[in-house]
Structures are given as structure tokens and as C-alpha cells.
Amino acid sequence: MIELRQEERGAGPAAVIECAGHADAENVVRCVDMAVRLGHTCVVVDLLGRDGTDADLLGVLHRSARRLREAGGRLAVVSADSRFRRLLHLTLLSQGFRVCTTREEALAG
């Protein structure tokens, strides 16, 4: 399941994409695209409720971050999974977006 909603942060509203269970990576892309069309420049992808990660999701996050940068925005990813965070670091994918351990941290920056 994926849910897209707006939350307030210090610098204005942000789109939060909350992924739960076996959320399909392509639905994440659709939600990011919708957030950009709605004018959001800050998008947070919350993976705390997602069951595992895969290569598809890594590619989606990379493409989404690039799309947001081109639109003048930024992407933040929330994950407490140390293996996922390490994989992002080792593949240098974390250079394209901010990786946080809590949604509050992602919304604050």
C-alpha cells in the first residue's frame, strides 16, 4: 500500500509518500510524479513500513531524486534499515537524496 499526503514542515508543505507492506516501486514513481505536478518541491518517501527493499526501488529513488532536482526540489528517504542505508552509501545513490532515520528529521531539513 502507498499513501500520498501533504504534511507541514518549517519551510512549507511537503509531500509524504508512505510505503507499507510490499509497496510496488512503480507506484512510488507515480506518487512522486503527482507530487511534482502538484507543485511540491520537497518529497519524503517513508519506507519505515515497507517489507524489504530491492533493486527496483533503488532505481526508482534515484530517478525520482533526479526528477525533483530538475524541478528545483529535493527528495528525502526515511529508513531505519541499516543494511538498506549501507547499500545506498556503498552504491553512492545516497548522494542524490537525503537519507534519514525518522520522518521528522526528513521534514526538518
pLDDT at 3 over 70: no
Straight-line distance from the first to the last Cα atom of the chain, in angstroms, rounded to the nearest whole number: 26
Q: Domain residues for 75? A: 2-108
Instruction: Kindly report which listed range (17-26, 31-40, 63-72, 81-90) carries the lowest average pLDDT score.
Output: 17-26
- The rounded percent of the chain whose pLDDT value lies above 70 is 83
Report how far residue 94's alpha carbon sits from residue 82's, in angstroms, rounded to the nearest whole number.
13
Query: Strand, coil or helix: what is 39?
Result: coil
| Burial class of residue 39, CB neighbours in 10 A (0-12, 13-18, 19+) | exposed
* Residue 95's CATH number: 3.30.750.24
CA nearest neighbour of 57 among 102, 88, 89: 88
Number of domains the chain contains: 1
- pTM equals 0.84
pLDDT tens, position by position, 30-72: 888 888 888 888 899 998 877 666 677 888 888 889 988 888 8
